[in-house]
Structure 1
Amino acid sequence: MVENSGPPPEVKRITWTVLVGGMAVLFDSTIVAVGIHTLATDLDVSLATIQWVSTAYLLALGVAVPLVGWAQRALGSKRLWMAALALFLLGSVLCSLAWDATSLIAFRAVQGLAGGMLMPLMTTMVMQAARGQNLGKLAVTIGLPVALGPIVGPVLGGLILQYLHWSWMFWVNVPFCVAGLILAWRVLPRDPAPTRARLDVVGLALLTPGLVSLLYGLSNVSHDGGLARADAWAPAGAGVALVAAFCLWAVPRGHRALVDVALLRHRPLWTSSALMFLSGFGLFGAMFLLPLYFQTVRGHDVLQAGLLLIPQGVGALLSRVALGKVVERVGPRWITLTAFLVTAVATVPFAFAGAMTNQWWLMGVLLVRGLGLGSALIPLMAHAFTGLAHDDVPDASIVSRLLQQLGGSFGTAVLATVLAGQAAHAHDLVGAAHAFDHAFWWAVAFTLVAVALSFLLPGQPPGRAPRAEQDRPGQPARTERAVARA
């Protein structure tokens, strides 16, 4: 096999252009997460009320993500990207000008609608431009915001909350959004004339409320009472039923459905998506536990906890430097299996940690954990799109993004329930440390499940890059599907 020198210049320009906007979304999410307590104090509302700042964003994201494929077909990639980025800019400015908790929650929903479109669209545009070539190297690049977010977000959020007004948490998005819009206008290829794309109204009526109900129920599990709360199990159960009904509706309709879930018959997509779901436990679930551990058990403030998490983000960045040279030479099975195994092993020390555990030891462990977690996501992202036709990429991006988001929400809900159940019996610092130990063991267990599932991935790299224009057996030709979608 002739070694590929890398993506062509036009693909690199598109990739870095959409990364600028993507960084605004990732930084925003991690910055706001550390400011919840400050917002509750400054806006004089309860913690339960201010949690809607995060919940409203999450629910709006659930509304937006399923619509991305249809909106891209109707408007074109460049128009939709710039419209969504402009909406995120508007939402950020409005959030910074919010006068009370209600207005802030409403403006966060505006951000969520935009962010829900931007993240899957970012992956779609890059993978479509690549046309099946250099997927591993591109996955390294477009995964950069995921690595930088946990490094920059908590630290920047802590600095802002300590020295500036909370509104600056949203003003920091503005330069990224403005630069992203200018770059998109100059760099992204011009869209064809807008077309009239058929909207699957029934699918929209099933999937959107289903995702919103499911995400809402899972978000309430972290509150007192956990899964026993009516506002947790009832909406989550209704959401599962609606999503299941959507799948029954969508599978026989294929590309005519709001989201073509029949694509999950494509083995690279379903295996990668299943592992991305489990990676949500390691990324979002453990990120829920780690700051709380440093603040609750070790007594650090928000800024100190953010600084202590830097090694994990540095590890994720270093993994991208290392994998950029080997991701297309080694089969995804062995990279992913090793990465999840390293993540599990590096989580074990936290299952034994207490208030007096050596801090430098824990920071070293976090560096190794970041190496593992960052290495797991890159081959999964690349493998998910292997062999897909050009017109299947948008729906594949939506499916993988939704499953990763649901995995993060589900993982956070489970670990929050475990932590709350153990903490209810804790009467001192030792008991609190034991509660966290128990929750970290659950995180280890779910990561080991991902290790086992990694054997479903191919053990050898592809002999040659797949053609992006090829069609799946038994499916209509790509041009026929494109006409049917319109």
Structure 2
Amino acid sequence: MARRKALAVEPLPRSLIRVIVVVILGTFMIQMDGTMVGVALNTLRDEFAVDVPTVQWVTTGYLLSMTMVIPVTGWTVDRFGARRMWMFALAIFGLASLACALSWSAPVLIVARIIQGLGGGMLLPLGQALLAQAAGPDKLGRVMGAIGLPAMLGVVLGPVAGGAIVTGLGWRWMFIINLPICAAALIASARYMSRQQSAELRVGRAGLDVLGLCLLSPALAGIVYSLSRAGSLGRFDQAEVVIPLLAGGILLAGFVIHATTTRVEPLIDLRLLRARSFSSASGVMFLFGLAMFGIALIVPLYFQAARGWSALHAGLLALPQGIGMAIALMIGGRLTDRTGPRWIVLVGVALTLLGLGMLTQVGEQTSQPFLALAGFIAGIGLGATTVPAQTASYRDVDRAAIPRATSAVRIFQQLGGSLGAAILAVVLQTQIAAVASDGGAPAAIAAAFGQTFVWALALVAVAFIPALFLPATPATRPDNRDATTERSEADA
């Protein structure tokens, strides 16, 4: 009886549930938009009569602007408050979505997408920061699971929804659909987000780290652009890949030196990495960013290039992975609050490896049930890993440092995703080029995808190392005394 009470978890308060719903509206919209546009690039190329390198800037420009704005988000919360910045970012995203829908040329659409990325890049870390502050450490696992579910489903359902919208209504409706969601999120934010709660994240009117901004944002932009081009070209030895990568690396090294020696508060406080829970969680998020974005790139390509299935068919086959993620997210957050993140993450990594191990065996005639099962298992693993790692990243971070901690984790995950997509794209391109020289038989092309999944398997396996250093016990309440412990003592 005492143990059952010790494991009891208090229900989430209604005020917190309302904030969760508001954040879900924004994050789901961002994830859906990013994946829907990917399936429409061929349509946009024909619509505006441009070549592939030009139309790719519709997604590359969006990704670059999202990456560049993340470092400054923490400072804006300190300066203007989390609630105000959340609503401002929603408004920017909505207005930019309208501009995208009204675009009459590729350059106009690209500029609109860059502005849209500024709003989207702020929404994700702002939503996480608001929830981390509102939930407290003892409820954070369940809260991250609640917002992680629609975010993950947005990634999985985006290609299906995008294909259906482009085919049935036209590409402009991919952006028009954002408008009512933005309006609903703004109304709900004004009504349900507490000014007093979000003001607690506003710890002072700190000065902007201008030098850090001038170093970090261009560094991230250069690295992401380089990786994006490497993925498109299928190689790393081109000047348009090497030059921005070197420039980004030099600027990033300059930021590290600046952030560790400056007397002002840097954009990203690298001293947070001294906390074992934050550094290990950041390592897991970076490595799983490698895996998640890479898998999201390779799996649909296998369905279409190796098997000849339509985009809609490929999207439907991705649904089992989304279902697996949903199950893990619903269970993983609650388990994290009860038991701590380490063992859940280790199990999640193992399940992801099992699913990817099955995908390394794909061939020309691999059955659809086998592919669905592999995706389902990998989805459970991805979901079971992401939420506990996100939760652990806030474990030993001071309340005042939550906004900058959120920005740091988002940057690690974003860079991991860009790097993973680029690495697997280069590997796949190399494998396909090798079999093409032998005639490019369908069976050989399918085998090339199997070899690429081996690389994804290796990237995920490395995540075992930082996962071993995650906390193995549940978080305590803000007064450093766990509620379940109090109930156990009272029961005794």
Give the 3 Å change call, closer, same or farther, for CA 225–19 of structure 1 in structure 2: closer
Q: TM-score, normalised by structure 1?
A: 0.93
Give the 3 Å change call, closer, same or farther, for CA 234–209 of structure 1 in structure 2: same
- Return the offset for 1:325: 3.5
How far apart, in 2, do the equivalents of 1:383 and 1:255 lie?
Answer: 27
1:453 and 2:466 correspond? yes
Residues 186-201 of structure 1 mapped to structure 2, 5 A cutoff: 186-190=191-195, 196-201=205-210
1:369 and 2:378 correspond? yes
Moved more, 426-435 or 76-85: 426-435
Could you say what secondary structure the match of 2:388 adopts?
A: helix
What is the number of equivalent residue pairs in this alignment?
468
1:301 and 2:310 correspond? yes
Residue 117 of structure 2 corresponds to 112
1:101 and 2:110 correspond? no
1:465 and 2:477 correspond? yes
- Return the offset for 1:434: 2.2
CA deviations 1:240-289 (Å, max 9, x no partner) are 22112111111234771122121111111110011000001221011100
CA deviations 1:96-132 (Å, max 9, x no partner) are 1111111111100011100111100000011111233
- Return the offset for 1:152: 2.0
How far apart, in 2, do the equivalents of 1:309 and 1:2 lie?
Answer: 35
Residue 446 of structure 2 corresponds to 433
- Return the offset for 1:29: 0.6
Structural RMSD (CA): 1.8
Residues 118-137 of structure 1 mapped to structure 2, 5 A cutoff: 118-137=123-142
**Contact 1:348–1:441 under 8 Å retained in 2:** yes
- Return the offset for 1:468: 8.6
**Contact 2:29–2:154 under 8 Å retained in 1:** no
Give the 3 Å change call, closer, same or farther, for CA 135–437 of structure 1 in structure 2: same
How far apart, in 1, do the equivalents of 2:334 and 2:289 lie?
Answer: 25
1:353 to 343, 358, 362: 362
Residues 242-253 of structure 1 mapped to structure 2, 5 A cutoff: 242-253=251-262
**Contact 1:36–1:51 under 8 Å retained in 2:** yes
Could you say what secondary structure the match of 1:456 adopts?
A: coil
Residue 152 of structure 2 corresponds to 147
1:77 to 73, 78, 82: 82
Residue 86 of structure 1 corresponds to 91
How far apart, in 1, do the equivalents of 2:324 and 2:206 lie?
Answer: 43
Residue 489 of structure 2 corresponds to none
Give the 3 Å change call, closer, same or farther, for CA 330–254 of structure 1 in structure 2: farther
Give the 3 Å change call, closer, same or farther, for CA 379–99 of structure 1 in structure 2: same
Q: Which runs of 5+ in 2 are unaligned?
A: 1-5, 482-492
Residues 81-480 of structure 1 mapped to structure 2, 5 A cutoff: 81-190=86-195, 196-253=205-262, 256-427=265-436, 428=440, 429-462=442-475, 464-467=476-479
Code of the aligned partner of 2:448:
A
Give the 3 Å change call, closer, same or farther, for CA 250–452 of structure 1 in structure 2: closer
CA deviations 1:372-424 (Å, max 9, x no partner) are 11111010011110132111100110010100010000000110111111111
How far apart, in 2, do the equivalents of 1:292 and 1:228 lie?
Answer: 24
Code of the aligned partner of 1:333:
R
Residue 472 of structure 1 corresponds to none
- Return the offset for 1:425: 1.6
**Contact 2:342–2:469 under 8 Å retained in 1:** yes
Code of the aligned partner of 2:382:
L
Residue 3 of structure 2 corresponds to none
1:50 and 2:74 correspond? no
How far apart, in 1, do the equivalents of 2:384 and 2:234 lie?
Answer: 36
CA deviations 1:22-71 (Å, max 9, x no partner) are 11111101111221122112221111110000110011112210110111
Moved more, 406-415 or 364-373: 364-373
- Return the offset for 1:225: 4.7
How far apart, in 2, do the equivalents of 1:68 and 1:163 lie?
Answer: 37
How far apart, in 2, do the equivalents of 1:254 and 1:223 lie?
Answer: 41
CA deviations 1:302-358 (Å, max 9, x no partner) are 111111111101110011222244222223221111111111111122211112111
Code of the aligned partner of 2:74:
G
- Return the offset for 1:144: 2.1
Code of the aligned partner of 1:51:
Q
How far apart, in 1, do the equivalents of 2:38 and 2:282 lie?
Answer: 25
- Return the offset for 1:6: 3.1
**Contact 1:61–1:112 under 8 Å retained in 2:** yes
Code of the aligned partner of 1:348:
G
Could you say what secondary structure the match of 1:327 adopts?
A: helix
Moved over 6 A (4+): none
**Contact 2:7–2:338 under 8 Å retained in 1:** no
Could you say what secondary structure the match of 2:32 adopts?
A: helix
Residue 27 of structure 1 corresponds to 32
**Contact 1:131–1:390 under 8 Å retained in 2:** no
Code of the aligned partner of 2:160:
V
How far apart, in 1, do the equivalents of 2:303 and 2:479 lie?
Answer: 48
**Contact 1:131–1:468 under 8 Å retained in 2:** no
**Contact 1:254–1:262 under 8 Å retained in 2:** no
Give the 3 Å change call, closer, same or farther, for CA 255–340 of structure 1 in structure 2: farther
How far apart, in 1, do the equivalents of 2:462 and 2:334 lie?
Answer: 28
- Return the offset for 1:291: 0.6
CA deviations 1:454-480 (Å, max 9, x no partner) are 212233334x335599xxxxxxxxxxx
How far apart, in 2, do the equivalents of 1:302 and 1:468 lie?
Answer: 51
**Contact 1:387–1:467 under 8 Å retained in 2:** no
Give the 3 Å change call, closer, same or farther, for CA 468–196 of structure 1 in structure 2: farther
Code of the aligned partner of 2:208:
L
Could you say what secondary structure the match of 1:424 adopts?
A: helix
How far apart, in 2, do the equivalents of 1:248 and 1:275 lie?
Answer: 24
Code of the aligned partner of 1:438:
Q
**Contact 1:341–1:447 under 8 Å retained in 2:** no
**Contact 2:272–2:397 under 8 Å retained in 1:** no
